Amino acid sequence: MRVIVVPPDPSWPARFDAFAGGIRDALGEVAVAIHHIGSTSIPGIHAKPIIDVLVEATSLDDLDARANALVAVGFESLGEFGIPGRRYFRMDDQTGTRICQIHAFEVESSGAIRHLAFRDFMRAHPERAREYSELKIRLAGQDLDIEAYMDGKDAFIKEMERQALDWWIERTTGSSVPVRRYRHRLRVRRSYTEEPKTVCHDDIISLYERKSAEYDRLRGRGLQELEWLERFCSFIPAGGTILDLGCGSGEPLATYFVGRGYRVFGVDGAPSMIGLCRSRLPEQEWLVHDMRGLVLDRRFDGVLAWDSFFHLRAADQRLVIQQFGTYARQGAPVLFTSGHEAGEAIGTLCGEPLFHESMAPETYRRLLSEAGFAVEHHVAVDSSCGDHTIWLATYRGTQD
């Protein structure tokens, strides 16, 4: 069969997001991390229009036990398929055209690192990516079958993999120390793009407003956060009311809380997100408002800021943490996510740059204490929860 490569398509990141959501729902906690790899993950280059997905799994035994869940959502399971230590899955559309393939390895394995190093190296070296793109165009123009096409790329790919691994080790460790010792650092960093920090934090609400329908469609309905949500709820009385700051579309978190018998007061700066919430959960309370400067004349049994709080500048986060104490009843929990260390990072939302900032862990602890909270649980880079860094604290301050 003749190989076809196509120009870069701006929809590829969104297609990956859609596949990743389904894979996460199917594999649950077995999927420690899910990454977009292959040529469709490298900006600006030609590629076969197939989304390549890397899954880092808790173990191959765990993955094999969940393989049928991937088959149930349309993937074909082919075992190692010629590469020891890998599990390979593929999906074709109704015409028999390949649209997605999964390369699954154990977390921190050499196979996973090889894919990630190659991708990140190409993203950081556009001249090499351009050479790769031109080679693929040239080979595809020779009307080769897939085996001849792969043979034609082999020497270039092997050389780039060698350079990529050397570059990756140097960038990650600053030395030639073995890769596995520093793997946890990359697990956080690689979720961000290599773009320079030119994204304005004040554009976050308008970005979510523009992308509300696409975000809602791609957002997985699975609950990788379930263990943390259960911890959070353990501090909340039956029938209590939860303040959800940055509630998004209400799925799946608000729906989960309502299903457990709680009331939800959701706040989001994007009107379209609140519109989705009102259509799904009309009995709950919803407010269009930026969490910065939010003043409420009531207290709540729990306060949530999951994957929302870290879009604020550090100075704004300080103010919002102070506000947490005005929202919480005595003993009420607050649950939020942050980065694992101080600094800014640029991720993506439906293919567009998305701002994040975090403070140092000791700063969060101090600010929470000053606001009247005691930290109950804190995990940095929780591999069981998509590498989130998570804070759960309870309010011990004096009530008005």
CA distance 28 to 48: 29
Q: HSE-up of 176 (CA within 13 Å, CB side)?
A: 1
How would you write the pLDDT of the chain (400 residues) with one tens digit per residue? 578 899 999 899 999 999 999 999 999 999 989 999 999 999 999 999 999 999 999 999 999 999 999 999 999 999 888 787 899 999 999 998 999 999 999 987 888 888 988 998 999 899 999 999 999 999 988 988 777 888 888 889 889 988 888 887 766 544 333 333 333 333 333 333 333 334 444 578 888 888 888 888 877 677 878 999 999 999 999 999 999 999 999 999 999 999 999 999 999 999 999 999 999 999 999 999 999 888 898 999 999 999 998 888 888 999 999 999 999 999 999 999 998 888 887 777 777 788 888 999 999 999 999 999 999 999 988 877 777 889 999 999 854 4
Tokens standing for 163?
């350079």
DSSP string, 35-76: EEESGGGSTT--B-S-EEEEEEES-HHHHHHHHHHHHHTTPE
pLDDT at position 223: 82
* Dist. CA 139–CA 162, nearest whole Å: 22
Contacts 24+ apart (CB under 8 A), 270-277: 270/205, 270/208, 270/209, 270/212, 271/209, 272/209, 272/212, 272/213, 273/208, 273/209, 273/212, 273/216, 273/247, 273/248, 273/249, 274/247, 276/212, 276/216, 276/249, 276/250, 276/251, 277/247, 277/249, 277/250
**Residue 284 near residue 268 (C-beta atoms within 8 A):** no
Which residue has 């506000």 as its token pair? 323
Task: Write down the domain spans for the chain.
Answer: 12-189, 201-395
Please count the CA atoms within 13 angstroms of the CA of 331 that sit on its side-chain side. 6
pLDDT reported for residue 184: 34
pLDDT tens digit sequence for 80-111: 887 878 999 999 999 989 999 999 999 878 88
DSSP H or E segment with residue 82: none
User: For residue 185, what pLDDT is reported?
Assistant: 33
For residue 146, the model assigns a pLDDT of 78
Q: What is the pLDDT of residue 1?
A: 58
Question: What is this structure's pTM?
Answer: 0.54
3-state secondary structure of 193: coil
Distance CA 41, CA 141 (A): 22
Over residues 293-320, the pLDDT tens digits come to: 888 989 999 999 999 988 888 889 999 9
Q: For strand 76-77 and strand 87-92, is the pairing parallel, antiparallel, or unpaired?
A: antiparallel
Task: Provide the CATH number for the domain formed by 12-189 in this structure.
Answer: 3.30.460.10
Report the 3 state secondary structure along 289-312.
CCCCCCCCCCCECEEEECCCHHHC
Residues 11, 13: Cα–Cα separation, whole Å: 6
In sequence order, the β-bridge partners of residue 288 are 268
201-395 maps to which CATH number?
A: 3.40.50.150
Phi and psi, residue 298, nearest 5°: -150, 165
How far is the C-alpha of 377 from the C-alpha of 100, rounded, in Å? 38
Q: Are 164 and 121 in contact (CB under 8 A)?
A: yes
Contacts of 196 (CB under 8 A, 6+ apart): 346
